[in-house]
Structure 1
Amino acid sequence: MRDPYDILGVSRSASEAEIKSAFRKLAKKWHPDQNKDAKAASRFAEINSAYELLGDAEKRGQFDRGEIDAEGKPRFSGFGAGGGRRYEGFEGFDFDPAAAARGRGGAWRSGPGAGGGGGAEDIFSQLFGDAFRQAGRGPNPFQQAGQAGARSGAAGRGAGKGADINASLSVTLEDIAAGAKKRILLPNDREVEVNLPKGVSDGQTIRLRGLGGENPIGEPGDVLLRIDIIPHEKFTVEGDNLRHRLPVPLEDAILGATLRVPTLTGAVEMKIPPMSSSGRTFRMRGKGLPGKKQTGDLLVTLEIRLPDEADEALTEFARRRRAAKAA
């Protein structure tokens, strides 16, 4: 690997803060999720390896003194007696003979007693949010780039997520009954088509995944879409059922009749028997709103209407009925 100071573009006298700042800028620029350049992954791995060395005060000191090379491998002429895994002057590091034999970086890895802190994992926690929480984005950038010096704690972690956006959509009962597709312009100026799900209710929030705030180095946020049902002049909503109050002429209530009843998909006929009282409710199955399991019903309540003008025959009939009850 090249000189880590050259990779980060800092001088050998750079402070810890200067090294960290340089790393943050370069990592953000070359992160594979943001930069689609074919060389981005390897460049990103190189930057991370450089910071793994220079961001750790102990490793940086060993490099400056010539005790380890740019890949973190110790500079020594032999393994010495004993062939053990730990060596004098490298307490806190574990030696991987297989990696050394392959000539790859990472032969010396930080062990449980290794000193230092503020490594690349900590920086990425600040850069990409939520400490590399699982985001289901596939292989980790470190693994894709084959980076030798990445800490095992960074494996399987992804970039952060963009901000969620709140929006609202006003719909009619007819829209819901038809399972309509509604186009909406979101606050972030994106126009999308929304499928109204079965069983949607007034005030319900639908999550539109990936349509929220953008994140150049991670997955976008979601849109939290609140559904507002516009009040209807003929129907009131009771869960998946609808209720309608049907005006009925007096003569139809007395004699019985076939009446036209409005529904969300057009008027239908309904028979009422003779002597149907005001307030009586009839159930028309499947004429309500589509629910998650089945379609609701339409509940039709009769409201008997008297004539707008006086009717002598009706008045005389009412007098005789009253007299009969009083006798």
Structure 2
Amino acid sequence: MNDPYKILGVAPTASADDIQKAYRKLAKKLHPDLNPGNPEAEERFKEVAGAYDLVGDAEKRKRFDSGEIDAAGAERSRQNYYWDYASSEQDHPYTDNSGFADFMESEDAFAELLRRSAQAQANRRGHDLKFRLPIEFVESIAGANRRLTLPDSSTIDVAIPPGMTDGQVLRLRGKGEPGSGKGAPGDILIEVEIRPDRSFTREGDDIYLELPVTLTETVLGARIKVPTPTGAVTMTVPKGSNTGSTLRLRGKGAPRQAGGHGDQLVKLKVVLPKEPDPELEAFVANWEGGKTYNPREEVAP
């Protein structure tokens, strides 16, 4: 062990009170309970505790200062010192444990911290288990039931509530690792990852869908089936609708925290047949109205 005075950062002439104050300051900084997972702090704390055990005890300090024991508390070559002749029937004239005893009194703030830390260690809460769970977009809106496999190969069923957002965390209380002593078990924390959907997107509580429609449906109007995350519904396409026209399905969006649902907004996209249609080509060729209007008149030149 190095010089205990240097370890505590005090001079060899320091008073017992100064030594105690120096020890408290270092112990509060380095105690393992305040530095979990830091082996350097733990080793330094042991050095500080050993140094204080030596020079914080009046008798040991006297013996160290006079060369009777070394920095590790081991006996040096023995000589006749005054303490050898002190009467065993009375207190040793150089004995004084008051500094250490005072430190350990229950009303001392740090001693109380150590006591509570030890108690907390004996009754430590179990660790939380963390998972990332990918789900489909429609599951995030409508809800779902999934099964998780835990590290010990057991499984647990998880109910995905409707309206989940990407990155939101589900907490299953008491389903984590068991605690020690009287400590409560930890929790399972499940971060939800929503896979992108090829049809639906979400903004806030509203859902967006681009829906292909035929030329006939937009020119003449129609009643068509429209997919939603909770199932298809029937929607009216007004006569004369165009690509870019947006229709609103009220209450078909994501669930709101305050109650109710957002809307689903359906953006129409006119799609012509994949194969050329001679009849359609002939109609358009003879359609005079199609030659007289300019759909780009509002576009800047």
TM normalised by structure 2 equals 0.54
Whether the aligned pair in 2 keeps the contact of 1:188 and 1:212 (CA below 8 Å) is: no
The Cα shift of 1:197 comes to 2.9
- 2:268 counterpart of 1:302: yes
**Which digits, 9 at most, give the CA deviation of each residue in 1:208-262, with x for residues without a partner?**
2222232222112222210011222321122222111111111211111111111
- The match for 2:254 is 289
- The match for 1:141 is none
Q: Equivalents in 2 of 1:208, 1:325: separation in Å?
A: 63
- 2:143 counterpart of 1:175: no
What RMSD over aligned residues (CA atoms) do the two structures have, in Å?
Answer: 3.0
- 2:117 counterpart of 1:125: yes
- The match for 1:199 is 163
- The match for 2:196 is 231
Q: Equivalents in 1 of 2:283, 2:205: separation in Å?
A: 41
- Higher-Rg structure is 2
The Cα shift of 1:322 comes to 5.0
- The match for 2:130 is 166
Whether the aligned pair in 2 keeps the contact of 1:207 and 1:222 (CA below 8 Å) is: yes
**Which letter maps to 1:264?**
P
The 1:199/1:116 distance shift into structure 2, 3 A limit, reads: same
Residue of 212, 216, 219 corresponding to 2:184? 219
Q: Equivalents in 2 of 1:190, 1:215: separation in Å?
A: 18
- 2:257 counterpart of 1:254: no
- The match for 1:280 is 245
TM normalised by structure 1 equals 0.50
Residue of 204, 207, 230 corresponding to 1:242? 207
Contiguous gaps of at least 5 residues in structure 2? 1-56, 58-100, 295-301
How many residue pairs end up in the alignment? 187
Q: Equivalents in 2 of 1:229, 1:212: separation in Å?
A: 24
Q: Equivalents in 1 of 2:201, 2:260: separation in Å?
A: 19
212-221 vs 187-196, which moves further:
187-196
The 1:325/1:263 distance shift into structure 2, 3 A limit, reads: closer
260-269 vs 243-252, which moves further:
260-269
Q: Equivalents in 1 of 2:105, 2:118: separation in Å?
A: 11
289-298 vs 277-286, which moves further:
289-298
Identity over aligned pairs, percent? 38
Whether the aligned pair in 1 keeps the contact of 2:141 and 2:164 (CA below 8 Å) is: no
Residue of 222, 225, 234 corresponding to 1:269? 234
Look up the SS of the partner of 1:195 in the other structure. Answer: strand
Q: What pairs with 1:69-108 in structure 2 (closer than 5 Å)?
A: none
The Cα shift of 1:124 comes to 5.0
Q: Equivalents in 1 of 2:265, 2:228: separation in Å?
A: 11
Contiguous gaps of at least 5 residues in structure 1? 1-56, 58-113, 130-157
Whether the aligned pair in 1 keeps the contact of 2:140 and 2:165 (CA below 8 Å) is: no
Q: Equivalents in 1 of 2:217, 2:286: separation in Å?
A: 16
The Cα shift of 1:180 comes to 2.5
The 1:323/1:297 distance shift into structure 2, 3 A limit, reads: closer
Whether the aligned pair in 1 keeps the contact of 2:256 and 2:262 (CA below 8 Å) is: yes
Residue of 102, 119, 126 corresponding to 1:115? 102
**Which digits, 9 at most, give the CA deviation of each residue in 1:115-139, with x for residues without a partner?**
351879525513534xxxxxxxxxx
Whether the aligned pair in 2 keeps the contact of 1:244 and 1:301 (CA below 8 Å) is: yes
The 1:247/1:173 distance shift into structure 2, 3 A limit, reads: same
Q: Equivalents in 2 of 1:203, 1:240: separation in Å?
A: 16
The Cα shift of 1:269 comes to 1.2
**Which letter maps to 1:170?**
P
Look up the SS of the partner of 2:104 in the other structure. Answer: coil
- The match for 2:47 is none
The Cα shift of 1:317 comes to 4.3
- 2:301 counterpart of 1:324: no
